[in-house]
Amino acid sequence: MPDLGEKFTKLSFKDWSPLNKKEINSLNGINEKPFFETLDGAYPFIANLLCNNIKNYNYLNLKHKSSNDIEQKKLPFVIGVTGSVASGKSTFSKIIKSLLKKLFKELTLELVTTDGFLYPNSFLEENNLMEKKGFPESYDTETLLKFLSGVKLGESKNYAPVYSHILYDVIPDEKLEIIDPDILIIEGINVLQPIISKDNNMPLIISDFLDFSIYIDAEEPSLKTWYTDRFLSLRQAALNNEEDFFNRFSSINDDQAKEIANSIWEKINLVNLNENILPTKKRANLILKKNINHEINEIWLRNI
């Protein structure tokens, strides 16, 4: 990663112990057991790094409260996770949430994805944005900022819309209730992107609410391979479910499905990566570089 210049320092984590079998088994509820078998020292290293940041944050908040007579609400630590489509953001976020829960058993952790803040497909279709789904203009940023503002201000209850990858759409009238989190992980391709507003009058951006941000990086050929593999996997899982968005691809053969996946990648996801996602990499506090096997082989920390 020579393009990072002097803004980042490469960290050494190879001497950290890998997760043992007991720790791996405790994460099986995430339903991606084969992946956990490859976990190495990178994950406990990252969890420990976050742990130190969270402890420092809580110490400063506690010190501020003790010097202020006015009672203050709990201020959660917000972690942003971003990167390309198919980079493994969701899996990474679930792993880190589980590891942080081990380190902070007494704290409440929540995980929210920005997919829920996409405009519904009906809106995207009406505004000719379906082929721009995932681009900045396809998100209801005002609602997302309102949600993050409520969380960061210490409001006791906040609600996030829910996205279904089966329906490939936001679920109407379904909300995820977030109650007094101590730590919130917000995951999505747009968490470090500048805001695009209709009236150019958006005083806040998503990163204003983040206490620590992580960018998951990989070479473009790897990302394309992962996207194609995921497309084929989702298509296979949808064979017997007519309500599943990917069921529409069940009548074609694998070669035809790969062609469609490659076309979507080249015309939509790659364009979005180059125009909107990749430029945010240097804004992150931590950059994780993956190899073709989804293994983290480089960690870069932004210099203070």
- Show the tokens assigned to 147: 């949600």
Q: What does the alpha-carbon distance between residue 269 and residue 134 come to, in Å, rounded to a whole number?
A: 8
What is the average per-residue pLDDT within 234-257?
A: 91
The predicted-structure confidence for 159-177, as pLDDT tens digits, reads as follows: 999 999 999 999 999 999 9
What is the percent of the chain with per-residue pLDDT over 90, rounded to a whole number?
A: 66
What pLDDT score was predicted for residue 3?
A: 66
Q: Which residues pair with 217 in a beta bridge?
A: 289
CB neighbours of residue 281 within 10 Å = 20
What pLDDT score was predicted for residue 74?
A: 76
Amino acid at 296: I
User: In the predicted model, is pLDDT for residue 16 greater than 80?
Assistant: no
What pLDDT score was predicted for residue 282?
A: 94
- On average, the pLDDT of the chain sits at 87
What is the average per-residue pLDDT within 128-154?
A: 95
What pLDDT score was predicted for residue 94?
A: 92
What is the percent of the chain with per-residue pLDDT over 70, rounded to a whole number?
A: 84
The predicted-structure confidence for 19-62, as pLDDT tens digits, reads as follows: 566 665 555 444 344 444 445 578 888 998 999 999 999 888 77
Q: Is the pTM here over 0.85, yes or no?
A: yes
User: In the predicted model, is pLDDT for residue 72 greater than 60?
Assistant: yes
What pLDDT score was predicted for residue 37?
A: 44
What is the average per-residue pLDDT within 65-88?
A: 81
What is the average per-residue pLDDT within 69-79?
A: 77
* Residues 214 and 93: beta-carbon distance below 8 Å: no
Domains of the chain: 2-77+94-180+195-220+233-302 (3.40.50.300)
- Between 220 and 72, residue with greater pLDDT: 220
User: In the predicted model, is pLDDT for residue 210 greater than 80?
Assistant: yes
* Residues 184 and 112: beta-carbon distance below 8 Å: yes
Q: Residue 215, by phi and psi: left (phi above 0), alpha (psi -120 to 50) or beta?
A: beta
What pLDDT score was predicted for residue 41?
A: 72
Q: What does the alpha-carbon distance between residue 186 and residue 206 come to, in Å, rounded to a whole number?
A: 10
